[in-house]
Chain A
Amino acid sequence: EDQVTQSPEALRLQEGESSSLNCSYTVSGLRGLFWYRQDPGKGPEFLFTLYSAGEEKEKERLKATLTKKESFLHITAPKPEDSATYLCAVLDSGGYQKVTFGTGTKLQVIP
């Protein structure tokens, strides 16, 4: 069974204070690792897909990296509008289409 564990559960940052969110995963074979952003009361919004160890993707203040066992979402100089829950998810290579999500990290950025 695929497993995704995210830490911390919640993170409170001052505006401009950079930090990282962690996602550790267990799959039989990784087809893709995904990061989503979710605002309260809304569905998740896709951010990145990472396919292999060493890969990095960037979007504005966010940068996602991938190793064989975990992924990090680095947030550089965050702004209050970055406040959201960030979800990590994996798709294994077993021929199925089930994407398994972690429980998320709730990020609050204070002005």
Chain B
Amino acid sequence: DTGVSQNPRHKITKRGQNVTFRCDPISEHNRLYWYRQTLGQGPEFLTYFQNEAQLEKSRLLSDRFSAERPKGSFSTLEIQRTEQGDSAMYLCASSLAIGNTGELFFGEGSRLTVL
């Protein structure tokens, strides 16, 4: 399978715990995005990498959220001291260059439930 892979697919945690999600993009894609989606809403932009550089970060992203892409390949999204409001689907997407077709290739997401 050469699509975008996300792990874990589901995570249930207690409030206050830290969680980490991993995203493996399509291998030749140099751009990687993280989005968050809650029920009945569209995906909400969190952050964007070009290679290993984090070029954009949403103002909505609190200090408890951190993302890395250390070697320009896979990425991790860590949420510290989780809160119930963090419960959502966390989507990763990758692309070559958005100026062409504009296509983002999404993974199937990591669903977080904070109890």
Taking Cβ atoms with an 8 Å cutoff, the residues of A that contact B are 4, 31-32, 34, 41-46, 49, 87, 89, 91, 96-104
Asked if A98 contacts B45 (CB within 8 A), the reply is yes
The CA-CA distance from A34 to B99 in the complex, in Å, is 12
Q: Can you name 26 A-B pairs with beta carbons within 8 Å? A: A32-B99, A32-B102, A41-B109, A42-B109, A43-B106, A43-B107, A44-B104, A44-B106, A46-B102, A49-B102, A87-B42, A87-B43, A89-B42, A97-B33, A97-B48, A97-B50, A97-B98, A98-B48, A98-B58, A99-B98, A99-B102, A101-B35, A102-B42, A103-B40, A103-B41, A104-B42
Q: Which of B45, B93, B99 has the most CB of A within 10 A?
A: B45
B44, B50, B103: the one contacting A101 at CB < 8 Å is B44
Shortest CB–CB separation between residue A9 and chain B, in angstroms?
8
A100 to B, closest residue via Cβ: B45
Q: Which residues from chain B contact A31 at a C-beta distance below 8 Å?
A: 99
Q: Name B82-115 residues within 8 Å CB distance of A.
A: 91, 93, 98-99, 101-109
Task: Establish whether residues A43 and B98, one from each chain, have CB atoms under 8 Å apart when the complex forms.
Answer: no
For B44, B55, B106, which residue has the most chain A Cβ atoms within 10 angstroms?
B106
Residues on the B chain within 8 Å of A97, using CB:
31, 33, 48, 50, 55-56, 98
Contact with A along B48-73 (1 / 0, CB 8 A): 10100001101000000000000000
CB distance from A104 to the nearest CB of B (A): 5
CB-based contact A101/B102 at 8 Å: no
Task: Beyond A31-B99, A91-B98, list 9 extra A-B contacts (CB 8 Å).
Answer: A4-B42, A42-B109, A43-B107, A45-B106, A46-B105, A49-B102, A87-B42, A98-B48, A100-B45
* Chain B residues with CB below 8 A from A42, complex form: 108-109
Q: Are B43 and A44 in contact (CB under 8 A)?
A: yes
B41 contacts across to A, CB distance below 8 A: 103-104
CA distance in complex: A4, B41 (Å):
12
Nearest A residue (CB) for B100: A49
